[in-house]
Amino acid sequence: MNFEFLTVSLLVVASPGTGAAVTIATGLTRGTRTAVIAAFGCTLGIVPHMLAAVTGLAALLHASALAFETVKFAGVAYLLYIAWMTWRERGVMKIEADGVERSSWQVIQHAVLVNLLNPKLSMFFLAFLPQFIARNEAAPTLVMLQLSSIFMAMTFAVFAVYGVFAARMRQHVLGSPTVMAWLRRSFSATFVALGLKLALTQR
């Protein structure tokens, strides 16, 4: 296994992003179990990008400006929606529509959608992973699936750690209205910033 691949992948996964923010927010508001479920959902959201890259569909996003922009701005719109729902929540922060608590399946759906609407993941699989596949590799598809699986495992592990740590802090956080208000605003601002960053992403 290429050490450079592991190092760069870990840096990509551990860097602040939408999935990490969603998992941390879930841990703070719903506890350890739901945070791990959210981490699992974010990991599942990688699968369509991986399959697209393996089957060559990611090349469409790379070649077609319209396709890339469509997916990108759908992701921006969803991030801004999350930011708005977070900002307007006045009770315990749920980041959920109408303050209705999500089921485990809904948490997974939400987390999957967050990563599904991120075209940068397709670009990651299209531009980054192939660098670690030898030109004379007899089974390049199999190697790409193996590397992708490692990336997904790292994603789940790192996000789960983020979520569990946040869950451990929730008792100290939820008891303070001031801290909760600050967190709502911080997460809302984070989602807006991530949306703006995605909007400015170039192919």
Rounded CA gap, 22 and 38, in Å? 8
Nearest Cα neighbor of 28 from 202, 147, 182, 189 is 182
Rounded CA gap, 108 and 36, in Å? 10
Angle at the Cα of 195 from the Cα atoms of 190 and 196, rounded to 5 degrees: 100
Nearest Cα neighbor of 121 from 49, 15, 23, 66 is 49
Both tokens of 119, joined, read 């075209």
For the stretch 128-137, pLDDT in tens is 776 677 666 6
Averaged pLDDT of the chain: 76
Nearest Cα neighbor of 100 from 163, 30, 28, 21 is 30
Mean of the pLDDT values across residues 111-122?
Answer: 79
pTM of the predicted structure, to 2 decimals: 0.69
115-137 as b/e, with b when 16 or more CB fall inside 10 Å?
A: bbbbbbbbbbbbebbeebbeeee
